């Protein structure tokens, strides 16, 4: 039996067996016990915050989850459509016992997901998810009656609280006056609060993709489709563009020339800004194995150390929490500023990036081109036994040969896909011709040595 929880909660096609009204209700009943009644003192009623993105299925899934929680005796605060980081913040701000976010992030509208947040708005450890799943499968739920059932209340000032919090994080209440910014909300959860936050901070804001209809989330817009934002920034002569994904835990940017500014570059800008402000713990940035080698060398020259983790914001968070680091993230735009948030926050990231443009008086392109990217190539090799990547001797020998040739001027990474029989081969090196040649060579070895055996 496969594990119910994936790398970021439960995610599936809406109204499939895993994401039906019934399964959502029962999952909520299990969470009510594990995150609620197992944690609060006897006799107290747990409190939970629930929010969703703009998917049409979020309504029935949310209704089912609220019914499951309230029928178990949990008081529910319905925050409506809000970003994932807003839900996390509100769990902490309300001193709720846990939270629920209904979103499939950057996935198409027909998918959805359920993510639970622990007290303080933090992600759940695997062990806690396993306890919820065990209870979900055993159906050992609570069934109070009479006045012991929970209440469902509308969290009417949820968005205002979150926006106020975002603005409070700007250094010295720095104003974005004079900045001309385009904000792409992906027709998702940020459609209301992101434009509001930038406007209140003083920027002149042009909004695109902020008209969610339930089915247009991430549809050709947002952080996974930057072409429209690039064109709009150039058309308007804007200073920069900010792009979110469906639940706004990501931020990618576009500079005044219409060029993409990815998560690596955003982190480099923020790392130096926070170092100069004395707010970068141990002068250390946490990033993943995918972050560009050129950026690592540049930050090293600036006295900033980089700690690398496996791909996935949960691993970045673990390293940050274990060591008290204050900044980390991924190329994809998940940027975590732990002084202000417990998870990646696309609006928070965008505000601080814009604030650095305002503070320095430099263009985003100038801030973004402080380091030279190491040439990088990635090749996806399908239909292979990804589990044998680390044990196949010919593959390991091929990796070592490339690493020996590249030396300190390059890196090799073979990363098995989490969902497909596929291995991603990534090579960085001194020039594009070299990395292309080595990547193609390694991909050929992986395809040959790890090929899946098919039945005749």
Rg (alpha carbons) of the chain, rounded to whole number? 23
Residue 102, strand partner residues: 52, 114
- Locate CATH 3.40.120.10 in the chain: 10-156, 161-368
> Which two structure tokens, joined as six digits, stand for 105?
């992030």
| 245 assigned to a ligand binding site | yes
- Residue 409 has what pLDDT? 86
- Residue 453 has what pLDDT? 66
N-to-C CA span, the chain: 28
- Residue 454 has what pLDDT? 55
Strand 252-255 versus strand 240-243 pairing type: antiparallel
User: Could you give the 3-state DSSP secondary structure of residue 86?
Assistant: helix
CA distance 195 to 70: 33
Query: What is the chain's pLDDT, residue by residue, as a tens digit (456 residues)?
Result: 678 998 789 999 999 999 999 999 999 999 999 999 998 887 789 999 999 999 999 999 999 999 999 999 999 999 999 999 999 999 999 999 999 999 999 999 999 999 999 999 999 989 999 999 999 999 999 999 999 999 999 999 999 999 999 999 998 767 899 999 999 999 999 999 999 999 999 999 999 999 999 999 999 999 999 999 999 999 999 999 999 999 999 999 999 999 999 999 999 999 999 999 999 999 999 999 989 999 999 999 999 999 999 888 889 999 999 999 999 999 999 999 999 999 999 999 999 999 999 999 999 999 999 888 889 999 999 999 999 988 999 999 999 999 999 998 899 999 888 768 899 999 999 999 999 999 999 999 999 999 986 544
Q: Which residue has the tokens 């396993």?
A: 130
Tell me the CB-side half-sphere exposure of residue 412, using CA atoms within 13 A.
Answer: 22
Fold of the domain spanning 161-368? Alpha-D-Glucose-1,6-Bisphosphate; Chain A, domain 3 (3.40.120)
> Which two structure tokens, joined as six digits, stand for 21?
């009204």
Q: Judging by beta carbons within 10 Å of its beta carbon (0-12, 13-18, 19+), is residue 446 exposed, middle or buried? A: buried
- Residue 455 has what pLDDT? 46
> Which two structure tokens, joined as six digits, stand for 64?
């089912």
Domain 376-449 has CATH 3.30.750.24: no
- Locate CATH 3.30.310.50 in the chain: 376-449
DSSP 33: I
Helices H / strands E in the chain, number of each: 14, 19
For 439, other C-beta atoms within 10 Å of its C-beta total: 21
H/E stretch holding 52 reads: strand 47-52
Q: Could you tell me which of 371, 424, 354 has the C-alpha nearest to residue 181?
A: 354
pTM (whole model) above 0.85: yes
Q: Are 87 and 48 in contact (CB under 8 A)?
A: no
| 72 assigned to a ligand binding site | no
Architecture of domain 10-156: 3-Layer(aba) Sandwich (3.40)
List of residues 6+ apart from 174 with CB closer than 8 A: 355, 358, 359
Q: Could you tell me which of 350, 163, 105, 165 has the C-alpha nearest to residue 251?
A: 350
State yes or no: is 24 an active-site residue.
Answer: no
Q: Could you tell me which of 28, 34, 21, 72 has the C-alpha nearest to residue 50?
A: 28
Q: 269 — alpha (psi -120 to 50), left (phi > 0) or beta? A: alpha
Q: Which residue has the tokens 């968070």?
A: 317
Q: Are 311 and 289 in contact (CB under 8 A)?
A: yes
| 255 assigned to a ligand binding site | no
CA distance 231 to 227: 6
Among residues 71, 105, 194, 358, which one is catalytic? Answer: 105
E-assigned strand segments in 294-354: 305-309, 327-329, 335-337
| 247 assigned to a ligand binding site | yes
């Amino acid at each position: 039996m496969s594990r119910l929880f994936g790398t970021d909660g439960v995610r599936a096609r809406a109204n499939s067996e895993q994401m039906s009204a019934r399964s959502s209700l029962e999952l909520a009943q299990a969470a009510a016990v594990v995150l609620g009644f197992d944690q609060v003192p006897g006799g107290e009623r747990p409190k939970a915050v629930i929010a969703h993105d703009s998917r049409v299925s979020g309504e029935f899934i949310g209704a089912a989850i609220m019914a499951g929680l309230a029928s178990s005796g949990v008081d529910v605060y319905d925050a409506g459509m809000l970003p994932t980081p807003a839900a996390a913040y509100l769990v902490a701000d309300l001193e709720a016992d846990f939270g629920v976010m209904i979103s499939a992030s950057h996935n198409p509208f027909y998918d959805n997901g359920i993510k639970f947040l622990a007290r303080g708005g933090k992600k759940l450890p695997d062990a806690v998810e396993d306890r919820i799943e065990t209870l979900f499968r055993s159906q050992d739920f609570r069934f109070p009656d009479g006045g012991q059932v929970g209440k469902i209340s509308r969290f009417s000032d949820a968005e205002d609280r979150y926006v106020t919090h975002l603005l409070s994080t700007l250094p010295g209440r720095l104003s974005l006056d004079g900045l001309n910014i385009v904000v792409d909300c992906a027709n998702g959860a940020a459609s209301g609060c992101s434009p509001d936050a930038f406007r209140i901070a003083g920027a002149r804001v042009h909004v695109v993709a902020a008209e969610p209809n339930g089915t247009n989330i991430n549809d050709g817009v947002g952080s996974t489709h930057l072409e429209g934002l690039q064109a709009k920034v150039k058309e308007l002569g804007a200073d920069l563009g900010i792009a979110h994904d469906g639940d706004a835990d990501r931020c990618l940017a576009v500079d005044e020339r219409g060029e993409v500014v990815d998560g690596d570059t955003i982190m480099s800008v923020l790392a130096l800004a926070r170092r100069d402000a004395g707010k970068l713990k141990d002068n250390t940035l946490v990033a993943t194995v995918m972050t560009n080698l050129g950026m690592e060398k540049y930050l090293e020259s600036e006295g900033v150390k980089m700690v690398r983790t496996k791909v996935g914001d949960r691993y970045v968070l673990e390293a940050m929490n274990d060591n008290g680091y204050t900044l980390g993230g991924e190329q994809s735009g998940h940027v975590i500023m732990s002084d202000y948030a417990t998870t990646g926050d696309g609006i928070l990231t965008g505000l601080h990036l814009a604030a650095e443009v305002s503070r320095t008086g430099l263009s985003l392109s100038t801030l973004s081109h402080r380091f030279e990217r190491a040439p990088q190539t990635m090749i996806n090799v399908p239909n292979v036994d990804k589990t044998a990547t680390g044990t196949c001797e010919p593959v390991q020998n091929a990796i070592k040969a490339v690493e020996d040739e590249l030396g300190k001027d390059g890196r090799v990474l073979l990363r098995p896909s989490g969902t497909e029989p596929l291995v991603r081969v990534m090579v960085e090196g001194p020039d594009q011709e070299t990395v292309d040649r080595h990547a193609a060579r390694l991909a050929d070895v992986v395809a040959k040595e790890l090929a899946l055996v098919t039945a005749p």
